[in-house]
């Protein structure tokens, strides 16, 4: 439901990277509703890999320019290292370059939009107070995954709190720049009814579970004694949890899944996303109970379900917020497109094929690109 384009997304994008990296036991599900009947447990997170490694692409020292402001290879490398931290082991070697190039395309878009918007912020003499930054930072910290600290995320992603504060300050300034647009957006009951009727199938959400786990990983080469020892370790952890031990602490110290960085939190998932034994256990388990140890091809899992959400439809308020965000996005796309038309924008990346939608080709201005949306709740 949430439609929020984040341009100045320093700390939030880091959280996203950590969540993406936490998919132990999770099957790779395409964005479309049609999913494969079966996904092999050993499949990498990024499947459909090419059979051969593509020829290397040379990244220029200066990747892009906006009105003379440069986006350099060094800047891109810093961003890529932060975003891919902890996820590289899940990417097949032959896919690394392709994924990095796609991410560079996204970074160029973000650089173009951010540069254009911050120039307008400067013209309007818009500022963000230290109190506003502190309030927003406090909200970011409150919304971190359970069992994860702000300091851990900063350390893992090689980013400083000063950088986060700078990004938050920029985001606040842009929000103020667009306040007139936000304040004038209204949604009528008739619009909500019409939208809901036309999009019933798309709006409906399936039953889901929010769970965390501790994985004691196994390998195909493990002999029976090794497997038995690992099973005993999982049983011991369950026993400790039953006696009141802190789940996040044990996950960080013992789990073989990247989700351990978030205290084992896997977020919400629906049926069909997890391996069958894991899915059956999670969907059949009571909230906050430590279930029996479950075995999958990844190893032994100790699971705790934090929330069950029944299938259903979004509330009227949620639909209204979604429509409001859509209207906001549409207005901001037009605004940013108008800024781009008047700007001098250059993309020095080698032309590989057709540029992705919304991406500027070499030497051209970008197509309309998303800007930050209002801070609406869904």
The residue extents of the domains of the chain are 62-185+319-347, 208-309
What value does the mean pLDDT take over residues 250-277?
Answer: 93
Q: Residue 361: pLDDT band by 50, 70, 90 thresholds?
A: low
Looking at the chain, list the stretches that DSSP marks H as alpha helix, in order from N- to C-terminal side. 10-20, 73-84, 93-123, 130-142, 150-156, 161-177, 179-183, 189-198, 200-203, 224-242, 247-254, 276-283, 316-341
Phi, psi of 299 (to 5 degrees): 145, -150
In a 13 Å sphere around the CA of 78, the CA atoms on its Cβ side amount to 10
Phi, psi of 300 (to 5 degrees): -105, 130
Q: In this predicted model, which residue has the larger pLDDT, 46 or 179?
A: 179
Whole-number Å distance between alpha carbons of 200 and 31:
18
pLDDT per position as a tens digit, 125-183: 999 999 999 999 999 888 887 667 888 888 877 788 898 999 999 999 999 999 988 88
- Share above pLDDT 70 across residues of the chain, in percent, rounded to a whole number: 77
pLDDT higher than 50, residue 35: no
Q: Please spell the DSSP secondary structure of 51-95, one letter per residue.
A: SSPPPP-PPPSEEEEETTEEEEHHHHHHHHHHHHTTTGGGS-HHH
pLDDT per position as a tens digit, 100-117: 999 999 999 999 999 999
Comparing 60-69, 95-104, 233-242, which segment has the lowest mean pLDDT?
95-104
In the CATH scheme, what is the code of domain 208-309? Answer: 3.10.50.40
Whole-number Å distance between alpha carbons of 190 and 200:
15
Superfamily of domain 62-185+319-347: Porin chaperone SurA, peptide-binding domain (1.10.4030.10)
List the structure tokens of 107. Answer: 């970074």
Whole-number Å distance between alpha carbons of 328 and 320:
12
Whole-number Å distance between alpha carbons of 195 and 294:
42
What is residue 120's DSSP assignment? H
Q: Given the DSSP bridges, would you call strands 69-72 and 62-66 parallel, antiparallel or unpaired?
A: antiparallel
Whole-number Å distance between alpha carbons of 366 and 28:
31
Comparing 71-80, 153-162, 275-284, which segment has the lowest mean pLDDT?
153-162
Comparing 150-154, 188-192, 257-261, which segment has the lowest mean pLDDT?
150-154
What value does the mean pLDDT take over residues 335-347?
Answer: 94
Whole-number Å distance between alpha carbons of 239 and 288:
15
Q: Do the beta carbons of residue 73 and residue 61 sit within 8 Å?
A: yes
C-alpha separations of 266 from 47, 48, 63, 90, 211 in Å: 20, 24, 36, 16, 6
Helix, strand, or coil (residue 126)? coil
């Amino acid at each position: 439901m949430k439609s929020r384009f984040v341009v100045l997304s320093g700390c939030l994008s880091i959280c996203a990277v950590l969540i993406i990296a936490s998919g132990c036991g999770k099957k790779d599900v395409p964005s479309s509703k049609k999913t494969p009947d079966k996904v092999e447990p050993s499949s990498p997170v990024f499947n459909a890999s090419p059979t051969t490694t593509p020829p290397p692409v040379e990244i220029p020292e200066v990747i892009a320019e906006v009105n003379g402001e440069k986006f350099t290879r060094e800047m891109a490398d810093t961003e890529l290292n932060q975003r891919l931290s902890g996820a590289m082991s899940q990417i097949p070697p032959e896919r690394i370059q392709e994924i990095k190039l796609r991410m560079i395309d996204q970074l160029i878009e973000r650089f173009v939009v951010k540069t254009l918007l911050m120039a307008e912020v400067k013209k309007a003499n818009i500022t963000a107070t230290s109190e506003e930054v502190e309030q927003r930072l406090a909200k970011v910290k409150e919304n971190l995954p359970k069992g994860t600290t702000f300091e851990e995320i900063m350390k893992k992603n090689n980013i400083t709190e000063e950088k986060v504060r700078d990004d938050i300050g920029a985001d606040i300034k842009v929000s103020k720049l667009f306040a007139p647009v936000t304040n004038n957006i209204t949604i009528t009951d008739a619009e909500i009814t019409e939208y809901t009727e036309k999009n019933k199938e798309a709006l409906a959400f399936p039953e889901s579970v929010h769970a965390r786990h501790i994985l004691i990983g196994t390998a195909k080469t493990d002999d029976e004694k090794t497997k038995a020892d690992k099973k005993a370790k999982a049983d011991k952890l369950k026993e400790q949890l039953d006696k009141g031990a802190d789940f996040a602490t044990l996950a960080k110290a013992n789990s073989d899944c990247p989700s351990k960085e978030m205290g084992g939190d896997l977020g919400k998932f629906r049926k069909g996303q997890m391996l069958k034994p894991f899915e059956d256990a999670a969907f059949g388990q009571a909230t906050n109970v430590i279930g029996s140890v479950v075995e999958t091809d990844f190893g032994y899992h100790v699971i705790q379900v934090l929330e069950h959400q029944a299938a259903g439809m979004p509330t009227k308020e949620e639909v209204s917020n979604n429509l409001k965000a859509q209207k906001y996005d549409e207005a901001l796309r037009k605004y940013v497109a108008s800024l781009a038309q008047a700007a001098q924008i250059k993309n020095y990346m080698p032309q590989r094929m057709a540029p992705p939608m919304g991406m500027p080709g070499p030497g051209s201005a970008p197509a309309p690109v998303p800007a930050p949306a209002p801070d609406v709740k869904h």
